Amino acid sequence: MTDTLVTASETSGISQERRIVTAIPGPKSHALTERRLAVVPVGVSSALPVFIERAHGAIVVDVDGNQFIDLGAGIGVMTIGHTDEAVVAAATAQLGEFTHVMFTITPYEGYVRVAELLAQHTPGDFPKKTVLLNSGAEAVENAVKIARKYTGRTGVAVLDHAYHGRTNLTMAMTYKSMPYKLGFGPFASDVHHAPNSYPFRDGLSGADSAARTIAYLEKAVGASDLACLVVEPIQGEGGFVVPAEGYLPALQEWCAANGVVFIADEIQSGMARTGVYFASEHFGIVPDLVLSAKGIAGGLPIAGVTGRAEIMDASHPGGLGGTFAGNPVAAAAAVAVFESIESRGLLAEGARIERLLKPALLALQQKYEVIGDVRGIGAMLAIELVQPGTLEPNPAAVTVITAYAARHGVLLLNAGTWGNVIRFLPSLAISDALLTEALGVLDEALATL
């Protein structure tokens, strides 16, 4: 088996370099877009209509032969890099063993191994259990189910600017109406949006913003009706909002005092992206439940709810599951991701990326007044663009910059409630040279404004 197994780097032939050889999009992407428009609904849009053929490390190659530096990693999924050799080998081997039996019919070791690894690497030194699912939204749904069953309460609290998914319950939990919710209601009930901590915009200390959030939960909702509070330690789609110091610990303390299950949605911030396994560690919080997805399996769909055994065991047998949930190929890939992080010391890479990128972004802020804020941790950094000298959001500048970057071979993602944030969430495999080159393109793009 292993003899015939050719690793991705041998076959990829993809040099880790930026190369633009056609207009963007190129002719083949144009032709594919025509076919796509006939059969894929407009509701499924693409930020950049270039069709991808291959990818390796931090480079994606389109059907016209253009090579892009990928600073988005499929929204934080390809954390250890595209077609990582260990992930490809593990998934390929599992494909030849069995691809599906369904864990709730006949179990298999891969599922258990992923649960062991999540128990080991999520914050908190206590017995933990994990249910595996297919997507981030499904993890959020299941966390709420479990918290409701455990507490016997129904209320769900989330924070302003949060993103938790596109299913009916998670749409209700997501903040932003357009494009996620508009016209798609009615939404699940008993979901309550509390003010968050957004230091750049509210200027509040952690203690003051926590007091504001807690006042809302106590006065407008009522603590004894709340099953759970769901927070993203660093908000993802909301714009990589890093809460003020002390904010999250105060919320955790309040939850503990009021019998509210404290849930960290680490679907975007987790899995080594910020230099630790889960960003909760940076803030000194130990959530009751931690949600993971995206980066945990190198692009294969799998997600988890991991948490205190007594909470996770609240459901009766048969209450949790799903046909593909914890799929054996995805589980094998997840094990390979964990093992690679350990054996290759990838936790250090988040800090390396921050050391290079953050000072460079701060230098750009000195040069260009349109950059109102530079924030983030590890390989989860962002700039928020404003009308110079104000807090007025400047989404138009983001559109100009991301389009310029795409034409010059750099994939940049936007974010933020106002669409005025550019986020940098490259793979941990990206080299300093590629990061520096991408920064050069960003500088040029800012100069065109």
Q: Using the minimum distance from each CB to ligand PLZ, give the nearer residue, 166 or 344.
A: 166
Instruction: Report the distance separating Cα 416 and Cα 404, nearest Å.
Output: 19
- Smallest distance from ligand PLZ to CB 134, Å: 8
Q: Are 315 and 146 in contact (CB under 8 A)?
A: yes
- Smallest distance from ligand PLZ to CB 214, Å: 22
Q: Phi, psi (5° rounding) for residue 424?
A: -115, 110
Give the nearest residue (CB) to ligand PLZ: 136
Length of the chain: 449
Token look-up 């088996």 returns 1
- Smallest distance from ligand PLZ to CB 423, Å: 11
- Smallest distance from ligand PLZ to CB 73, Å: 12
Q: Which residues contact 306 (CB under 8 A, 6 or more apart)?
A: 115, 118, 119, 122, 128, 129, 130, 289, 290, 291, 292, 312
Q: Using the minimum distance from each CB to ligand PLZ, give the nearer residue, 85 or 141.
A: 141
The residues of the shown chain that bind ligand PLZ, judged by CB under 6 A, are: 75, 135-137, 140, 163-166, 232, 236-237, 265, 267-268, 293
**Tokens coding 367:** 């040069």
- Smallest distance from ligand PLZ to CB 236, Å: 4
**If we measure between CA atoms, which residue out of 17, 48, 8 comes closest to residue 430?**
17
- Smallest distance from ligand PLZ to CB 414, Å: 11
- Smallest distance from ligand PLZ to CB 141, Å: 9
- Smallest distance from ligand PLZ to CB 169, Å: 12
Instruction: Report the distance separating Cα 249 and Cα 74, nearest Å.
Output: 30
Reported as type and span, the H/E element at residue 411 is strand 410-411
Peptide bond into 186 cis (omega under 30): yes
Q: Using the minimum distance from each CB to ligand PLZ, give the nearer residue, 381 or 446.
A: 381
Q: Using the minimum distance from each CB to ligand PLZ, give the nearer residue, 148 or 164.
A: 164
Q: Using the minimum distance from each CB to ligand PLZ, give the nearer residue, 164 or 273.
A: 164
Q: Using the minimum distance from each CB to ligand PLZ, give the nearer residue, 64 or 141.
A: 141
**Residue 168 identity (one-letter amino acid):** N
**If we measure between CA atoms, which residue out of 80, 64, 75 comes closest to residue 22?**
64
Peptide bond into 127 cis (omega under 30): no
**Tokens coding 443:** 């500088």
- Smallest distance from ligand PLZ to CB 159, Å: 11
Q: Are 201 and 232 in contact (CB under 8 A)?
A: no
159 has which bridge partners? 194
Q: Using the minimum distance from each CB to ligand PLZ, give the nearer residue, 223 or 263.
A: 263
Q: Using the minimum distance from each CB to ligand PLZ, give the nearer residue, 137 or 336.
A: 137
- Smallest distance from ligand PLZ to CB 106, Å: 26
Q: Using the minimum distance from each CB to ligand PLZ, give the nearer residue, 50 or 415.
A: 415
Q: Using the minimum distance from each CB to ligand PLZ, give the nearer residue, 293 or 361.
A: 293
- Smallest distance from ligand PLZ to CB 16, Å: 26
User: Is beta strand 303-308 parallel, antiparallel or unpaired with respect to 289-292?
Assistant: antiparallel
Q: Using the minimum distance from each CB to ligand PLZ, give the nearer residue, 20 or 331.
A: 331
- Smallest distance from ligand PLZ to CB 77, Å: 9
Angstrom distances, CA of residue 248 to CA of 43, 124, 234, 282, 305: 35, 15, 10, 10, 20
Q: Phi, psi (5° rounding) for residue 158?
A: -135, 175
Q: Using the minimum distance from each CB to ligand PLZ, give the nearer residue, 26 or 270.
A: 270
User: Is beta strand 303-308 parallel, antiparallel or unpaired with respect to 128-133?
Assistant: antiparallel
Token look-up 């999924």 returns 77
Radius of gyration of the chain (CA): 22
User: Is beta strand 380-385 parallel, antiparallel or unpaired with respect to 371-377?
Assistant: antiparallel
Q: Which residues contact 396 (CB under 8 A, 6 or more apart)?
A: none
